[in-house]
Amino acid sequence: MEGGSDRLRVFIPTKDGTRIMERSVKKIDLSKLSIAFTEKSLCTRCGTCVGVCPEKALKIGEDFYPELIPDRCTECGLCKETCPGGKVEYLDLAEITFGKREDAGAFDGHVEKTFMGYSNDERIRAGGAGGGVITGLLWSLLKNKVVDGCVVTRMNPERPWEGEVYIARTYDELLQSQQSKYIIIPVNRILQELKELPGRYAVAALPCQIHGLRLYSRKEAWVNEKIYTIIGLFCASSMEPYVSTEMLETRGIKPEEISNFGFRDGEWPGYIRAYLKGREEPVHLHHSNFKDGAINYLTYLYSPARCQTCVDGSGEFSDISVSDAWTRDQAGRYMFQGQSKMLVRTTRGREVVRQAMEAGDLIAEDVTDNPQFKTHRLHTVKKGLNNYLRTDRWRAKGIPAPLYDRPTPENDFRDRMNERLESLAMWMGRKRWRRYPLFRFLTSRWGVPIIKVRQWIKSRKYRGTAK
């Protein structure tokens, strides 16, 4: 197809050649749509625009970007008003979530209570990435009939190298959602379905998806009525959807040969593994574990441009935020192995945790007053400083970058150089011809010495010092 903004030429193959048809197409003012249609690189691919469109004029397209069906669009502007891609107003989000226009002024955001814990259900705990806390909380809500379903994600049963959003209504359906999925999944597309369904729901979502949910709740009363609670996930970065197929390719595996794909599979902290059809034992797609091995390369080489400028890494506007418990002792050992940290942010979040603990569904310890349980320092630097610096630098160079109503934190020359080095690693990932050979090397046996060196450096770092 080719054509201008209001005429479309359609080429139809026939036995005698090609027949050309021409028809009128409704002319749309793209400035009234979500950011994907004016600056694609700023799209978070959260799915909000698709989920909120009252005319169903948007759909999920290639690489999970939204696509427009022009004849249906009425230019109502709702997708633009709820889009978290081009601009993020933190004061607005704080007012919507907490009822006051106050910036928390810290990377963790507004926190009422901090807990460390795990699910008391052995099957959920064993299958979770960090003690099964999110699944445990959701199951407690579901089995006690507080909610009628849970909006979660899983690897697509038909295309297991891709992720998908769905509504879990049973224990077994919830188990399918366990373990983190580090690839782009437009969760908020489910809003179109939720609007038509009766009942109340819990949602597990990433920061950008939560931004979209909160903005939409300001426009439509049913959102707050149906979404009982939002559980947020800490996020360093999502990854491009082709990360899974390229990982399979490094091991000579075709996507259609697998029955499942796991990013945090097996014993904590997990491994990236693929399950082949007709074979019980999984195939490891990298050496060492997830934390010391593959994740250190993946979040640089496969990070989308928009994720590189996102400054909400802690799910600031959820009711409860959950992250792995990476806190170490002076010897560098994990203090809460196989557990997760929970930041309780709202009255609703506090009630959800309290009920789960009283029902015996969640085992948790209140660590609110312990300074060791602030967010992991490296995560704070990556999202809470480097991404601000990168956003400022890109905007100064005329490169599209989101607008924030927060100032860039204080920084020095060393901080700026660290951001440049991190950006260099991400630049390597922009082209397959650079990215794929490098990633293949790093996840092969030849990359093992690099992992060993990193582990040695970490052991030196924690020796004799408290984290």
Euclidean distance between CA atoms 282 and 288, whole angstroms = 15
DSSP of 164-226: EEEEE-SHHHHHTT-S---B---GGGGHHHHHHS-S-EEEEE-HHHHHHHHHHHTT-HHHHHH
Q: What is the pLDDT of residues 187-205, one digit of tens each?
A: 999 999 999 999 999 999 9
Mean local confidence (pLDDT), 142-152: 98
What are the distances in angstroms from CA 146 to CA 140, 226, 440?
8, 11, 47
Mean local confidence (pLDDT), 66-75: 96
Mean local confidence (pLDDT), 383-387: 94
Euclidean distance between CA atoms 137 and 230, whole angstroms = 11
State the amino acid at position 417 in one-letter form. Answer: M
Q: How confident is the model at residue 8 (pLDDT cuts 50, 70, 90)?
A: very low
The full set of domains in the chain, from first to last, is 7-88 (3.30.70.20), 89-467 (no CATH)
* Predicted pLDDT at 2: 36
Q: What is the pLDDT of residues 295-342, one digit of tens each?
A: 778 889 999 999 999 999 999 999 999 998 877 766 667 777 789 999
Euclidean distance between CA atoms 408 and 386, whole angstroms = 10
Number of neighbours of residue 450 by Cβ within 10 angstroms = 16
- Average pLDDT over the chain, rounded to an integer: 90
Q: Does the pLDDT of residue 4 top 50, yes or no?
A: no
* Predicted pLDDT at 373: 74
Whether the ω angle into residue 269 lies within 30 degrees of 0, i.e. cis, is: yes
Mean local confidence (pLDDT), 81-105: 95
* Predicted pLDDT at 1: 34
* Predicted pLDDT at 205: 98
Vertex 451 angle, CA 445 and 456, to 5°: 140
Euclidean distance between CA atoms 284 and 262, whole angstroms = 10
| 167: three-class secondary structure by DSSP | strand
**Chain CA centroid to CA 414, Å:** 29
Integer Rg of the chain from CA: 23
